[in-house]
Amino acid sequence: MIGSLRRLFSLLLMGVTIVTITSGSTTAQLKPNVIFVANSLTDYLLLSPLTSYTSPLRLLVLNGKDEIRSLPFSSTFRILYFNGNLSASGLLDIALEYEISFNSAIIGEDVLSPDVMPYICYLATLTRSIVVPSTSYDVLSRLSSMGVNKFIIYGRTSVETTGSILKLETVRDVINYAYTQAWMKNYLIMTLTNDTSYLLIAAHYAGVRGGVLVSYDPEAIHMFKPEWLAVVSPPITRENYSKVIKLFNYSTSIDSDKYIDIKIGLLTSTNIYSTSRLVAVSLAFPELGGTWTNRGLVASMESGSALAWKIVREMKRVGLKTLYLSDSEDAQNLSYQTFLSTLVQGGLITYINLHGNIYALSPWQHGKPLLDFTDIPYIFPTIVLTLSCETCAFSQLSNPNESIAYRFIDNGAAAYIGSTSLEYGGEEYGSTYPEHMVHMLLIQGLPLGEVTRIINNVKIAQGKRAPKLILIGDPLLTIKNRGKLPYIIENISYRRKYKVIIKADTASIHIAIPLPSLDSQIVIGNESRLHLSTVSYIELEDDKPTLHLLLTRELASWGIGDLKPGEQFTIEAINPNKYRIIIASISALTVSITLTALFLKFRQRKHITHAEPLMLPGDESIDDLRSKVISWIKNHQMYFKTRLPPEEGLLRYLEEYFNEEIQEDELDKYILRFAMEHSI
């Protein structure tokens, strides 16, 4: 007890302000969750290896003495402010106070020099090594008594001590050694600036994640071929947005397909404090608790009511108490006051479908918006998903302080996924496919970066330029799996045919399955006549063709229409090359037979007087076969861009299927060809 009081007194002497949060008359636990607020770069470096993102939590932010107390989640934390004069002995006192043990230490008189600070921070956090800017005998002795048995010495200082010694004389030595210690080498952490503040935040994040820290260089994507990329940056605006676009472009060129291969997230905001807070909350997100984590928030204009209800149902199925705001007739509860109060209550996921731009959100297109960037309150660390237009159109943004997306991040959101362009929606349709995003996050437990990548790739498959969606946040951030998959997949024929059986009510299905080839044609056997609405793409994953298929049921309005237990369908991959070979062989044989017949007819001096009609087996006519083909297309959900009914647009359907231009007088031949391929 006396030792603890002495350490507390020494902390106060070195300028550490301690704020202990209390509940009633009961003081917080002896070792509560804590937030270290470093008001200098050196303190941030020294405190970095002392942080913990498992219970008890020890978070680290840079600056933001007043701002951090405004965020609702911080009320359950003890907050320690460091005023820029943290000494070696004071640092060791903090380690003892919070019972933080270290096996290794990085020491040297020059560890705090600006050119090496970020890389010392990176190495220290990677290796869980305490950083001590001193080589005095007293400090080394104290480190040894605390269990440190490995000393990493930076610079040309000679030190005599017990334990093993590793000498790193230059900045390059530090970087090279740090790379050997990274355990997640498929994760790049990249900065868009040489500003030491952002480099330090990137170093801290890279160290905790175990990733590879690099400065801005798109070629690093080709060099490392990462699976993940986090970009730590000052605010993205029209001035530096081209750098982000270049990273996305490089991420589509890792293999031979046209799709984004990397899960990308931007760790950015309007200022250094908010960015450091975003990093800290992202790392701690799985451990953050509170009643807000059991709620979901949905705000939608009337035109998207049915889609909003799909999302409400998905949230409720995983146990989220969902607050629904809308200006529709059934709700009529969307107003400025209700929206703000709902945001303040907080939720695990916040879904917004309103008209939008980079500054504001509103259920109406003209006049004063419902709320703009000045209205966003301080909120719990929710994940914001939007169908709203252009809220992440950073190519148009001059002043980051006027961005509604950044204001959500600045005021507490853990992540924000928004569009770079115009989006479209209707009763049950949203062009960012938010029902699938919610399903992938809540039920499949996919990380934010993977969910955003999948939707961007769907857009690429539709002929759009990437990125259509931007993730501000940690691409690795994952919601703890809250529900069981509502379907099972049976492999009927290896990589060629699958059966999907629905086991529980669901509004959405996402399937990723291997296929024989990139140019496989996909046929959905709609055995239960499910009226499915589907989007998909086929990409290379680990050099293997993989289908990503998103399905939902049309006409799923209000409380009915979701996929139900017992319903099922098949997914079949057809290799078009196989049929091209067969067709080519048949064509060659036909030509040979025709030439032979002509030769014989010529020798017999007989003349053809009329063209014979296309002959079909038995008594069937081409009109009968046309009707069967139309019926087959209607009963099997296939991937066609045309929205005409098959009766009116059969030629367009067949053009898309065969990827050929078909003349009217060739239609019968292609009907027969389609019927042969599908054994109609």
Mean pLDDT, rounded, for 376-397: 95
Q: What is the pLDDT of residue 157?
A: 76
Mean pLDDT, rounded, for 165-186: 95
252-308 residue pLDDT tens: 999 989 999 999 999 999 999 999 999 999 999 999 989 999 999 999 998 888 899
- pLDDT bin (cut points 50, 70, 90) of residue 642 is low
Report the range of poorest mean pLDDT among 54-63, 477-486, 567-576, 648-657. Answer: 648-657
**Predicted TM-score (pTM) of this structure:** 0.82
Q: What are φ and ψ of residue 138, in 5° steps?
A: -65, -45
Report the range of poorest mean pLDDT among 60-69, 255-264, 338-347. Answer: 60-69
Strand order in the sheet with 34-38: 17-19, 78-82, 34-38, 58-62
Mean pLDDT, rounded, for 178-182: 96
Helices (H), 565-604: 576-603
- pLDDT bin (cut points 50, 70, 90) of residue 620 is low
pLDDT over 50 (residue 11): no
Q: Using alpha carbons, list the distances in angstroms from residue 557 to 177, 387, 427, 561.
A: 58, 18, 8, 6
Report the range of poorest mean pLDDT among 24-33, 319-328, 495-504, 635-644. Answer: 24-33
CA distance 410 to 445: 26
CA distance 678 to 676: 6
- pLDDT bin (cut points 50, 70, 90) of residue 127 is very high
> Would you mind telling me the total number of residues written for the chain in this entry?
680
CATH 3.40.50.1460 maps onto the chain at 292-467
Mean pLDDT, rounded, for 83-99: 90
CA distance 490 to 323: 37
CA geometry: angle at 321 spanning 317 and 325, to 5°? Answer: 110
Q: What is the pLDDT of residue 6?
A: 41
Would you call 278 helix, strand, or coil by DSSP?
helix
pLDDT over 80 (residue 144): yes
500-531 residue pLDDT tens: 999 999 999 999 999 999 988 999 987 567 78
Residue 655 structure tokens: 């053009």
Q: What is the pLDDT of residue 529?
A: 75
- pLDDT bin (cut points 50, 70, 90) of residue 602 is very low
CA distance 446 to 439: 9
Report the range of poorest mean pLDDT among 414-428, 466-480, 547-561. Answer: 547-561
pLDDT over 80 (residue 605): no
Would you call 193 helix, strand, or coil by DSSP?
coil
Mean pLDDT, rounded, for 71-91: 90
- pLDDT bin (cut points 50, 70, 90) of residue 136 is confident
Q: What percentage of the chain reaches a pLDDT higher than 70?
A: 85
Residue 430 structure tokens: 């949203």
Q: What is the pLDDT of residue 162?
A: 74
- pLDDT bin (cut points 50, 70, 90) of residue 541 is very high
Q: Using alpha carbons, list the distances in angstroms from residue 434 to 184, 324, 423, 638.
A: 30, 15, 12, 22
Q: What is the pLDDT of residue 528?
A: 61
Pick the CATH number of 292-467 from 1.10.150.120, 3.90.1480.20, 3.40.50.1460, 3.30.565.10: 3.40.50.1460
Higher-pLDDT residue of 11, 287: 287
Q: What is the pLDDT of residue 22?
A: 28
Q: Which helix (H) or strand (E) holds 13?
A: helix 2-13
Q: What is the pLDDT of residue 8?
A: 40
Q: Which residue has the tokens 């107390």?
A: 69
Q: Which helix (H) or strand (E) holds 106?
A: strand 104-107
Q: What is the pLDDT of residue 654?
A: 81
Q: What percentage of the chain reaches a pLDDT higher than 90?
A: 62
Tell me what the pLDDT averaged over the chain comes to: 85
Mean pLDDT, rounded, for 629-643: 67
Q: What is the pLDDT of residue 103?
A: 92
CA distance 300 to 296: 13
